């Protein structure tokens, strides 16, 4: 049975299971074309139903809050392995009412940051959440300012709230002899702002409290009422290291709503661009890990590979970070035969150089001592926090959106999804090397069988609708929720970047290890601070 047949069969089985166990308590709709089951659930049944979903091996993808004329609509997106249907759970909360918090469920930690973010940006309270407030919006924001509300006027500057001189960061340890070490929010080099409070009663870190969103940009708010082309610029620029991934997810959402199918050549080129971006991203992370352990030569070798990939990207699409390479309906940049040959040769050489570097690092005992059994995240922790990408797969998770829900031309290329089991810094390093190897293989396959034809299908007349799309960005699953108005402008755009769940779970790796391990564990995650400041 082919993948389509398997998806259809699993959809039938899942809908039948829902009706047999939840009849009369939920409303079920099915979308056979996208293999999605949509469930309308009352707030009273939400906790029990979501727990039931988790028991079947599903993970939370994203939570979307939309303000309506009568209150709020909340949509929870759950996803699983290939051929399993995705589940959209919708519930409505009236104006002035509280939504049920889901943080106490078995995989409740994955809801934590979503609920805290919604409380800050919409003013929506989640009943039962242990700690709301001062999350995205720091203490200088005035009380009652919720920038994602329809009534919030973006043209009026908020008066900064007077700082409380007695304010102190929250602490978990208050025992005699305990102390807290602040790291950040200002870093050297190019790292964006983030603050970590490391608490200890000795040498090992007992508690790590991260604080992000120093540069909240209101990207989702800015998008409201904007044209598709203007929001595409926001999508590819809010996280430059993953420009293709986010632009592609946004474009696929628009295409799904408008019924546009990109031509085969465009789909293949999208895969090519995405894997070149993954290669460059992973080379940069490897360089950062080597630098954190003071391996100067290995750091330089990886950095040279990253620079060569940046220059190669510039040759291919005229921009080192792939800005302006794709658009709704297809791609903007093409490859001639000379560029194809140049790219094939260069990527093979880069893959060989990465392989040589990996072999050398494997036999550096002083290097391995800093990574092995350090920064461990167990598979149970990875599941409960919904970790994604190389970070989740280093702890034994297997999901990759390219396999779970193939997009573009990924169903036409052959590759494996590597996993590791140890969940430590060395497992994460191996993941970046192994994934880079697979990316180089994918690039080679695309270049060998690049279809002929046009680069884009016309997006003639946008129409109203909503779509949820996901891609496997270099750091993991990236979800984009797009709702278009009848005139083709954006009504609601919700981004859940891979750094959001992975930063939430970072403290799991940093705790129980020594202070001097912290920068190495930090580098092994390879995440973007700016992705959270959206």
157: burial class by Cβ within 10 Å (0-12, 13-18, 19+)? exposed
Domains along the chain with CATH numbers: 3-127 (3.30.460.80), 225-498 (1.10.645.10)
How much is the pTM? 0.93
Q: Are 422 and 403 in contact (CB under 8 A)?
A: no
Q: Distance (Å, rounded) from C-alpha 226 to C-alpha 490?
A: 6
Predicted confidence pLDDT, tens digits, the chain (534 residues): 455 566 677 788 888 888 888 887 888 887 777 788 898 999 999 999 999 999 888 999 999 999 999 999 999 999 988 888 899 999 999 988 999 999 998 888 999 999 999 999 999 999 999 888 889 988 778 878 899 998 888 877 776 666 677 767 777 777 777 778 888 888 777 778 888 888 888 788 888 888 899 888 889 999 999 999 999 999 999 888 899 999 999 999 999 999 999 999 999 999 999 999 999 999 999 999 999 999 999 999 999 999 999 999 999 889 999 999 999 999 999 999 999 999 999 999 999 999 999 999 998 888 999 999 999 999 999 999 999 999 999 999 999 999 999 999 999 999 999 999 999 999 999 999 999 999 999 999 999 999 999 999 998 888 899 999 999 999 999 999 999 999 999 999 999 999 999 999 999 999 888 888 999 999 999 988 888 888
The pLDDT value recorded for residue 1 is: 43
Supply the pLDDT for residue 160. 64
Question: Across the strands, what pairs with 478?
Answer: 471
Give me the residue label for tokens 């009706």.
Answer: 19
pLDDT at 188: 72
Q: How far lies 308's CA from each of 94, 276, 292, 352, 510, in Å? A: 54, 11, 22, 13, 32
pLDDT of residue 4: 58
Strand order across the beta sheet in which 26-31 lies: 26-31, 36-41, 86-94, 71-79, 59-67
**Cβ(205)–Cβ(512) below 8 Å:** yes
Q: Look at residue 245 in the predicted model and tell me its pLDDT.
A: 96
- Alpha carbon of 326 to those of 57, 332, 342, 369: distances in Å? 35, 5, 21, 43
Please report the pLDDT score of residue 162 as a whole number.
Answer: 67
User: How far is it, in rounded angstroms, from Cα 197 to Cα 180?
Assistant: 6
Whole-number Å distance between alpha carbons of 252 and 255:
5
* Distance, first Cα to last Cα, the chain: 42
SS3 446: helix
Main-chain phi, psi angles of 483, to 5 degrees: -120, 120
């Amino acid at each position: 049975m082919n993948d389509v047949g398997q998806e259809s069969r699993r959809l039938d089985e899942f809908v039948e299971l829902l009706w047999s166990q939840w009849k009369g308590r939920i409303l079920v709709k099915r979308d056979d074309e996208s293999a999605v089951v949509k469930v309308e659930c009352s707030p009273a049944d939400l906790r029990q139903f979501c727990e039931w979903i988790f028991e079947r091996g599903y993970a939370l993808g994203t939570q979307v809050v939309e303000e309506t004329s009568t209150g709020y609509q909340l949509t929870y997106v759950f996803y699983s392995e290939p051929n399993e249907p995705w589940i959209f759970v919708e519930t409505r909360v009236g104006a002035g009412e509280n939504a049920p918090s889901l943080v106490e469920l078995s995989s409740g930690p994955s809801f934590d940051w979503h609920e805290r973010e919604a409380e800050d940006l919409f003013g929506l309270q989640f009943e039962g959440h242990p700690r709301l407030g001062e999350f995205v919006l720091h203490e200088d924001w005035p009380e009652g300012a919720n920038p994602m509300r329809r009534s919030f006027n973006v043209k009026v500057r908020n008066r900064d709230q007077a700082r409380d001189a007695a304010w102190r960061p929250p602490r978990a340890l208050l025992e005699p002899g305990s102390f807290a070490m602040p790291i950040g929010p200002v870093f050297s080099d190019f790292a964006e702002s983030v603050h970590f409070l490391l608490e200890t009663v000795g040498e090992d870190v007992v508690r790590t409290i991260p604080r992000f969103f120093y540069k909240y940009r209101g990207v989702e708010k800015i998008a409201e009422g904007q044209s598709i082309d203007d929001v595409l610029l926001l999508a590819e620029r809010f996280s430059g290291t993953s420009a293709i991934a986010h632009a592609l997810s946004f474009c696929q959402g628009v295409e799904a709503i408008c019924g546009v199918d990109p031509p085969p050549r465009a789909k293949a080129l999208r895969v090519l661009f995405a894997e070149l971006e993954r290669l460059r991203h992973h080379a940069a992370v490897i360089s950062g890990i080597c630098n954190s352990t003071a391996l100067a030569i290995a750091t330089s070798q990886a950095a040279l590979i990253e620079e060569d990939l940046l220059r190669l990207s510039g040759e291919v699409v005229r921009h080192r970070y792939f800005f302006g390479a794709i658009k709704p309906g297809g791609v903007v940049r093409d490859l001639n035969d000379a560029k194809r040959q140049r790219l094939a040769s260069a990527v093979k050489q880069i893959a060989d150089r990465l392989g040589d570097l990996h072999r050398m690092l494997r036999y550096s005992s002083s290097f391995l001592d800093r990574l092995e059994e350090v920064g461990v995240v167990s598979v149970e922790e990875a599941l409960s926090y919904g970790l994604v990408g190389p970070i989740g797969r280093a702890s034994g998770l297997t999901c990759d959106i390219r396999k779970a829900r193939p997009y573009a031309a990924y169903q036409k290329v052959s590759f494996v999804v590597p996993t590791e089991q140890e969940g430590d810094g060395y497992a994460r390093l191996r993941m970046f090397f192994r994934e880079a190897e697979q990316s180089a293989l994918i690039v080679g396959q695309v270049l060998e069988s690049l279809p002929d034809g046009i680069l884009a299908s016309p997006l003639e007349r946008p129409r109203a609708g909503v779509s949820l799309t996901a891609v496997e960005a270099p750091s993991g699953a990236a979800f984009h929720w797009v709702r278009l108005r009848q005139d083709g402008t954006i009504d609601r755009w919700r981004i859940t970047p891979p750094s959001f769940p992975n930063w939430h779970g970072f403290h799991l790796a940093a705790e129980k290890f020594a202070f001097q391990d912290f920068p190495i564990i930090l580098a092994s995650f390879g995440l973007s601070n700016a992705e959270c400041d959206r």
